[in-house]
């Protein structure tokens, strides 16, 4: 619920997220930056805490995790986080699948962190490369054939992924569907095998379907339910010089309870006094996952493959030292070079045992 009543009490700056005068800007918000908010202006750093318990934030490096598909062609991606609406996994495959896969519990949206290759799908072949988003509709049959080791961040949603409404941006919405790559049908002939396994990936599974013929035998298709790739280089970044924009401006796709965003390199806010680093916040209604693809934040390199989990209701944000550095170097650092994939979920995410075992904050 939004309210028309907005109050101001005590010592506050004249402008939102600007001219803080040494105070710490802390947002307590509902609805993932789109609902009611309170800006709390603190004396001390709100992320200067030590967390103990199941809602402690988690940081883990993708390279420290070992999906079984990284060593065994018949292996599987590694589950990272899950709730009733989605499962977030990591794949690091370097050899072709000896089977065909079909995800049964929901749509599959994967980000290519490293590598390139081919997805053979029943809709036709689909090439992928670093920086691609790869969308596979629920129950679509496919096989991955990597050119080289391929690292994927995989988001499986229980409900359909869809492009969010463009709103006032209209046709200038950041996601231009004309830049999607959609496969052309190319039926595949039998290759001499007696049988072909289609592995159904699902909760409590897998289940195998064994066909006497090649399962990718589609000669044509029509409709509005199909796989595609979309590269982040084609995503249009929305900018403001006078205020740092909230995460929801960078929304890419969404499913029920799951929101996927692209934070890409951009010009830093230039208006005098404006804070260029996102304010401290407690996202009261959403867990947040940040996957750092690469780049830097105000000249500070971001570790590629770092995965951060901020549970809802827990303060997070760049440390005060980085904010002070950004203010000091405002004139010389005019560009933010980060490339980060973000996933917000309405339900609380449960980290897997492998994630907790490799939590950087626990060592």
Structure tokens at 353: 């045992």
Let me know: does 88 contact 152? Beta carbons within 8 Å: no
Q: Which SS3 state, helix, strand or coil, does residue 291 take?
A: strand
First to last CA, the chain: 41
316 labeled part of a ligand binding site:
yes
| Contact (Cβ atoms closer than 8 angstroms) between residue 113 and residue 130 | yes
Strand order in the sheet with 287-294: 58-61, 306-310, 287-294, 339-345, 258-263, 251-255
Please, what sign has the CA dihedral across residues 73, 78, 82, 86?
Answer: negative
Take residue 77 and report the two structure tokens written for it. 């991606």
Cα distances from 151 to residues 99, 114, 144, 160, 350, in angstroms, run 19, 5, 12, 24, 22
Q: Is 281 annotated as a binding residue?
A: yes
Q: How far apart are CA 225 and CA 16, in angstroms?
A: 42
Q: Strand 335-336 to strand 251-255: parallel, antiparallel, or no bridges (unpaired)?
A: unpaired
- In sequence order, the β-bridge partners of residue 146 are 117
Residue 279, classed as helix, strand or coil, is coil
244 a catalytic residue = yes
Instruction: Out of 244, 250, 293, 309, pick the active-site residue.
Output: 244
Q: Which helix (H) or strand (E) holds 221?
A: none
Note the Cα 359 to chain centre separation in Å: 19
Indicate which residues carry an active-site annotation: 244
Query: Residue ranges for the binding site?
Result: 281, 287, 316
Q: Which residues are annotated as a binding site for Fe cation?
A: 281, 287, 316
Residues annotated within the binding site for homogentisate are 316
């Amino acid at each position: 619920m939004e309210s028309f009543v907005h109050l101001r009490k005590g010592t506050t700056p004249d402008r939102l997220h600007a001219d803080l005068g040494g105070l710490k800007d802390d947002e307590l918000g509902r609805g993932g930056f789109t609902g009611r908010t309170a800006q709390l202006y603190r004396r001390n750093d709100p992320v200067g805490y030590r967390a103990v318990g199941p809602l402690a934030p988690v940081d883990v490096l993708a390279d420290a995790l070992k999906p079984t598909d990284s060593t065994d062609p018949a292996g599987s991606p590694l589950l990272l986080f899950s709730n009733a609406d989605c499962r977030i996994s990591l794949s690091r495959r370097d050899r072709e699948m000896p089977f065909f896969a079909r995800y049964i519990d929901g749509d599959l949206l994967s980000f290519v962190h490293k590598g390139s290759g081919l997805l053979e799908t029943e809709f036709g072949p689909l090439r992928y490369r670093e920086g691609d988003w790869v969308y596979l509709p629920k129950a679509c049959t496919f096989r991955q054939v990597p050119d080289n080791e391929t690292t994927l961040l995989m988001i499986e949603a229980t409900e359909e992924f869809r492009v969010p409404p463009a709103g006032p941006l209209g046709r200038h919405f950041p996601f231009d569907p004309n830049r999607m790559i959609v496969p052309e049908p190319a039926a595949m002939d039998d290759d001499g095998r007696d049988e072909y396994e289609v592995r159904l990936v699902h909760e409590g599974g897998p289940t195998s379907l064994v066909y006497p013929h090649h399962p990718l035998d589609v000669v044509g298709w029509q409709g509005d339910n199909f796989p595609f790739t979309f590269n982040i280089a084609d995503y249009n970044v929305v900018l403001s010089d006078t205020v740092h924009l909230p995460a929801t401006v960078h929304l890419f796709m969404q499913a029920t309870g799951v929101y996927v965003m692209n934070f890409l390199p951009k010009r830093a806010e230039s208006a005098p006094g404006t804070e260029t680093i996102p304010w401290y916040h407690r996202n009261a209604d959403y867990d947040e996952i940040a996957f750092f693809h690469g780049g830097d934040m105000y000249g500070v390199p971001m570790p590629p493959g770092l995965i951060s989990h901020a549970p809802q209701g827990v303060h997070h944000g760049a440390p005060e030292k980085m904010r002070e550095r950004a203010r000091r170097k405002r004139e010389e650092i005019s560009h933010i070079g980060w490339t980060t994939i973000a996933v917000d979920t309405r339900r609380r995410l449960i980290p897997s045992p492998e994630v907790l075992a490799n939590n950087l904050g626990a060592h």
